[in-house]
Amino acid sequence: MPQIIPIYIPTYISDQNYNPSRVLPRLFYYNGLIDCETYYIESGSLTQSGMVIAQSKFPYFDNYNVVTGSFPTAGSKSLLFNNEAVSYGALPSSSLFTEYWDTYISLLYNPKTRLLTAKAIIPLADYVKMELNDIVNFRGSYYHLRAINNYSLKTGDCELQLLGPIIPDTFSRLQPSPEPPAPPVSGAYAEVSWSFTETNADGNFRIYRNGSNVVTATTTTSGNLRVSGSDVINPELYPVSWTAGVTSSIFVNGGATISSIATTDTTVTGSFTAQTGSIYYITGSVVNNGVICCTPTITNITASGGNTIDISFTTGSSCAACSYTTIQSSTDNINWGGNNTGGCTSPRTITAPTSSTYYRIQVGCASTTSSYSDSVLFTTSSVNYATLYWSFTPSGGSSQFDLYINGSNVESRVTTSNGVYNVYMGDQIYVVVGVGGCSGISDHANAYTTGDIIVDAACNVGSTTLTSYTYTVLSGDIGTALSLNAFTSCDGGCL
């Protein structure tokens, strides 16, 4: 059921009279569609009629992103340097300032820090790798590298601007650099340094040497392996229980030797020949990229015969596998119910109410469900049936008339009568007409039908029963009037 909340649209004013303000282009987070009280979009003009479309969701843009649920929380990210009051949810605790500038400004204006200018000689190989804000050690203290000025490509002479010393608690937050790999092994050996990581997925990582399995990993781990020169090394990775969105990959030496990646339920593998005195870095990973259970879209609703309708729908690409779908109905687009659960094939055929009705659909995946689709109104005002006018006229003897539609007896009469019945494309119609007790000069029992759809007859002495052939309602019958007339009589012969 949609939430009864107001629709939030960011507005910018220039004064207390709410005059609009000129706003330059800016960034917002798009937080998806949010349930809200029903609103209506109307088209048309004074000279041309349009249509009214009911909506129960609106696109939610904000300065803050949504991490979980529908609204921002204290852990949400912000696009503001100074956070403003929220329209929904809770005010984030961080801003652009605290995320990117707080540490630097605190260091810059902390009474314990200073800006230091120094001269240095930096080899070109190191200079091209250095980045501003790197941590450097100068005379036993750690500093932020703020600038490298007047660098000489010929001699390596330059001037440095250093900010620091770094406050101890700031330095403790810096992640240490990874340990360097073991040096190459001299002699007839090569070194293989390997690692395997799993992120929200399951996989098996193996390394084969000359066809023999020497490394097996099923969880995030790493290690080193000494191999002989000329050994054939074959790393292999495959997912244990693959689902849409899981990516498997193997890289050797940053992709220089082997670079394999797969996004389907296949094994990732490759091989290379080790060289004496060389180091090889093999990395394998299996990652679930967070593929979601996608919200479906109803594309069409059509009458499919009888009192049923076909609801056609689609889902987006790269979605988690569908396990089932659930269709709900509503007469007011607010109160929903009548859950109808079925398969994932479009269209879904369901029994339709006799009045105009809103429908929406949801996809169920292995362990989660999507949001419901936007609702679509299906109206029965358009004619999707034919009108069958039937009558029964007995004359003499004891008579019986039975009208069958789709195998069900819908009318059973013994006296003169008539009526109207709505039939739909594909409906199957037949009648059973009987008469008995005919004797004397009127001893021939006659049962027969006339009209648009069934013309049939039966005759016998004393009594007879006519079971007519079956007529199937065609698409051309829809919107028309059909007639079916049945008669019984006792006469001196067959009519």
Indicate the residue among 33, 62, 94 that finishes a domain: 94
Looking at the fold, whether 391 and 481 belong to one and the same domain comes out as: yes
Assess if residue 436 is contained within a domain.
yes
Q: What is the reported pLDDT for 458?
A: 93
Assess if residue 100 is contained within a domain.
no
Q: What is the reported pLDDT for 39?
A: 82
Which 8-state DSSP code applies to residue 109?
H
Rounded to whole angstroms, the Cα distance separating 447 from 247 reads: 74
Phi first, then psi: give them for residue 114, nearest 5 degrees.
Answer: -155, 160
Q: What is the reported pLDDT for 177?
A: 46
Give me the CATH number covering residue 305: 2.60.40.10
Rounded to whole angstroms, the Cα distance separating 6 from 320 reads: 32
Assess if residue 304 is contained within a domain.
yes
**Dihedral class, residue 16 (left if φ above 0, else alpha if ψ from -120 to 50, else beta):** alpha
Q: Which residues contact 251 (CB under 8 A, 6 or more apart)?
A: 258, 259, 260, 282, 283
Q: Give CA 144 to chain center in angstroms.
A: 46
Is residue 354 helix, strand or coil? coil
Strands 481-491, 385-395: parallel, antiparallel or unpaired by DSSP? parallel
Looking at the fold, whether 162 and 215 belong to one and the same domain comes out as: no
Q: What is the reported pLDDT for 178?
A: 47
Q: What are the tens digits of pLDDT across the range 25-66?
A: 888 888 888 888 888 888 877 777 778 888 888 888 888 898
Residue 168's alpha-carbon distances to 171, 173, 174, 263, 420, in angstroms, are: 5, 9, 10, 44, 91
Looking at the fold, whether 336 and 261 belong to one and the same domain comes out as: no
Assess if residue 61 is contained within a domain.
yes
Rounded to whole angstroms, the Cα distance separating 486 from 418 reads: 10
Rounded to whole angstroms, the Cα distance separating 309 from 424 reads: 11
Looking at the fold, whether 315 and 402 belong to one and the same domain comes out as: no
Indicate the residue among 255, 288, 321 that finishes a domain: 288
% the chain with pLDDT above 90:
21
Q: Which residues contact 271 (CB under 8 A, 6 or more apart)?
A: 232, 233, 234, 235, 258
Looking at the fold, whether 346 and 426 belong to one and the same domain comes out as: no
CA dihedral 44, 47, 49, 53 (to 10 degrees): 20
Rounded to whole angstroms, the Cα distance separating 94 from 81 reads: 9
Q: Domain range for residue 315?
A: 297-378
Q: What is the reported pLDDT for 487?
A: 94
The neighbour count for residue 4, using CB atoms within 10 Å, is 10
pTM of the complete model: 0.31
Looking at the fold, whether 1 and 88 belong to one and the same domain comes out as: yes
Assess if residue 104 is contained within a domain.
no
Phi first, then psi: give them for residue 60, nearest 5 degrees.
Answer: -105, 110
Q: Which residues contact 133 (CB under 8 A, 6 or more apart)?
A: 104, 144, 145, 146
Rounded to whole angstroms, the Cα distance separating 369 from 293 reads: 6
Q: What are the tens digits of pLDDT across the range 18-27?
A: 887 888 888 8
Rounded to whole angstroms, the Cα distance separating 85 from 90 reads: 9
Low-confidence ranges of the chain (pLDDT < 50): 1-2, 175-186
Q: Give CA 373 to chain center in angstroms.
A: 10
Looking at the fold, whether 1 and 89 belong to one and the same domain comes out as: yes
Sequence-ordered strand ranges (E) for 150-188: 157-164
Question: In total, how many domains does the chain have?
Answer: 5
Q: What is the reported pLDDT for 23?
A: 81
Is residue 417 helix, strand or coil? strand
Looking at the fold, whether 455 and 478 belong to one and the same domain comes out as: yes
Strands 268-269, 481-491: parallel, antiparallel or unpaired by DSSP? unpaired
Lookup: tokens for 479: 């919107």
Indicate the residue among 65, 94, 123 that finishes a domain: 94
Assess if residue 102 is contained within a domain.
no
C-beta separation of 415 from 394 below 8 A = yes
Looking at the fold, whether 56 and 79 belong to one and the same domain comes out as: yes
**Dihedral class, residue 462 (left if φ above 0, else alpha if ψ from -120 to 50, else beta):** left
C-beta separation of 306 from 426 below 8 A = yes
Exposure string (b/e) for 20-55, b if CB count within 10 Å is 16 or more? eeeeeeeeebebebbebeeeeeeeeeeeeeeeeebb
Looking at the fold, whether 210 and 259 belong to one and the same domain comes out as: yes
Assess if residue 183 is contained within a domain.
no
